[in-house]
Chains A and B, each alone.
Chain A
Amino acid sequence: MRRRTFLMSVAGAAGCGGRRFRLNVLNWSVYIPPEVLRQFERETGIQLRYNVYESNEEMLARVMSGNSGWDVVFPTHYYIQPMREMRLLARLDTTRLKNLGNLDASFRRPAWDPNLEWCVPYMWGATGILYNGRLAPAPKTWSDLWQDRYQGRLTMLDDPVEVFGAALKTLGRSWNGQNESDLRAAKEQALRQKPLLRAYLNAEVRDQVVSGDVAAAQLWATTAQQAIDAAPHLQFAYPAEGFGLYADNTAILRESRRPGLAMRFIDFLLRADVSASIVRGCRTATANGAARALLGSEIQALPTLYPAPGTLERGEWMATPTVKLQRLRDRLWTELKSA
């Protein structure tokens, strides 16, 4: 702490000008390329402190105290309501966002925040299947991942939401388990698949698919795109039965003492050119319609991130179940893992 003050005062004395504005941003990893951050700092003179996290729970743990020091966070859509209930979010005055119109039409009135009072959609994604393109026939549905031919070369995500979601889809039910019997059926189904699996892996599986250890993996579209960038023979499928959709949103924490600066940051991210740079740099699917227009043909070349219009209809927005169902889900997950 003292070192920081010392260094800051030296920097200040070295003629960096009057007051330095600061903004603390907490985001998912690989969601804003460093060049874009530097661009913001250059254009506005605001210095950014940027840290990353790997899961909503991690982010929540860090900001839950209401005294964490962070200003801007990026919760996934099904966390907006909980964070509102925990009084962690600041109300947004969207009239101050000049670039709000750049948002894609489908994200202007999202189900989780119709009036955009609490958050602004940022990037979205889906869970699907990344597979080796040389496989014949190619897996196109979740049910395909239950077949013997993938014995030992198949992975699923290490997340109960994703695994049970896919299992529910093979049973023809909603991705989000609605009741007890849904969840139990999902667990039984997942149990049937377990002997075929090599492992339950998250983003780590990317390298293994690239190198050929794994033939097919349940994976998020953004991570899959990164793999495809490295190994063009890989392909991604949006399963026919349906899949889970999520959207990450920009939000300002209630505790933030710099809401004005935070709004400028959000406005910056909403710029078409900025959003386009982010897509190019991080390979993500943006909710920014103007950016998509700007990227034009580059979008066509990213079917993994921007599938054909009809495809997304099959998706379901992920939702948090009731406490009782959550508890059952976690218990079933433990049972599945211990089996």
Chain B
Amino acid sequence: MRSAQIEPSTRRPDSRWLATYAVLVYLFLHLPLAILMIFSVNASRFTVWEGFSLRWYAEAFRDQELMESTLNSLIVAVSATAFATLAGTLCAYALWKRASRWMTAGLALSLVTPEIVTGISLLAFFQWIFRYFDFRLGLHTVVLAHVMFSVVFVVTVVLARLRTMDSSLEEAAMDLGATDWQAFRRVTLPLLAPGIGAAALLAFTISFDDYVITSMVAGVDSQTLPMALYAMARRGANPVVNAISTLIVALIGTLILVSERLREK
């Protein structure tokens, strides 16, 4: 039972304040991004404007390793998001039905652990395993690590949304003859979809941007973009870093616009 979708915002008096506020916050969020973009086309290596130039973009594309790192990051983020969202949504649903102290404790633990400790612990764990199996660190270990620390975020977001839902809907469905699986799939899941979407978005972002844990469990061939950027940026302003960041944002931004357009249709 969904009440009417939102009334046009112009009719609400406080909406103008809200809109102004939103604009300010978006400016705040995007200001560093604008700076990045501007300096990605700065001819000088340092933060003094010396004229317009695209040389850093050219350099970024010439850098094989940078391109490969980006690809690795995308692969890892997509895989990790898929698994984490799946596991997390199911887990959140189960917790919604009936709380589980162990599960809650486990999830809380994964959230509370400092990144360096997660990294060290996973490294130690993998090395221990690798003594018995002929494996090395690689993209697979990175994906595993990312799934592990993303799950709690997915669960939190999805559960928060579930808590706003009326559990009697499912019961009504079951009264009408549906199995619990059908009730879940046909009733709860569709209503949950935006929450799952938000959770997946969060998981993807966390995974794509992770440095500390990734650097500890990555293997020889699995350098990700944050690792590459970290190495470059740590030595001082490097416009290639700005260039590649701008490219990624432009790419993702375009993808979003396109997907929004498609969804509106």
Contact = CB atoms under 8 A, between A and B. Distances in A.
Interface of A: 1, 3-4, 24, 29-30, 34, 49-54, 58, 61, 65, 67-70, 202-204, 206-207, 210-211, 223, 226, 230-231
Contacts of A211: 46-48
Contacts, number: 68
Nearest to B141: A1
A210 B237 CA distance: 11
Contact of B220 (A29, A51, A204): A51
B216 interface: yes
Contact of A1 (B127, B138, B237): B138
B231 interface: yes
A206 B46 CA distance: 10
A61 B216 contact: yes
Contacts of B219: 68-69
Contacts of A1: 138-140
Nearest to B119: A61
Interface in B202-240: 215-216, 219-221, 223, 227, 230-232, 234-237
B136 A67 contact: yes
Contacts of B140: 1
A68 B138 CA distance: 10
A21 to B, nearest CB: 15
Nearest to B130: A67
Contacts of B48: 210-211
B46 A53 contact: no
A214 B264 CA distance: 52
A203 B223 contact: no
A56 B11 CA distance: 62
A34 B65 CA distance: 10
Given A1-B140, A68-B220, A203 B46 contact: no
Nearest to A55: B234
Interface string B115-129: 000000001000100
A66 to B, nearest CB: 9
Contacts of B227: 51
A30 B216 CA distance: 21
Given A4-B221, A69-B137, A230-B46, A207 B130 contact: no
B161 interface: no
Contacts of A34: 63
Contacts of B220: 24, 49, 51, 68-70
Contacts of A29: 231-232, 234-235
Contacts of B216: 61
B45 interface: yes
A313 to B, nearest CB: 30
Contacts of A68: 136-137, 219-220
A53 B139 contact: no
5 contacts: A4-B139, A67-B136, A68-B220, A204-B234, A207-B236
A224 to B, nearest CB: 12
Contacts of B45: 230
Contacts of A207: 46-47, 236-237
B75 interface: yes
Contacts of B139: 1, 3-4
Interface string B129-145: 01000001111100000
Contacts of A53: 231
Contacts of B234: 29, 54, 202-204
A224 B230 CA distance: 20
Contact of B46 (A4, A69, A210): A210
A61 B215 CA distance: 10
A164 B45 CA distance: 33
Contacts of A30: 235
Given A34-B63, A68-B220, A69-B219, A204 B47 contact: no
Contacts of B232: 29
Q: Which of B47, B63, B123, B220 has its CB near the most chain A CB atoms (within 10 A)?
A: B220
Contacts of B75: 3
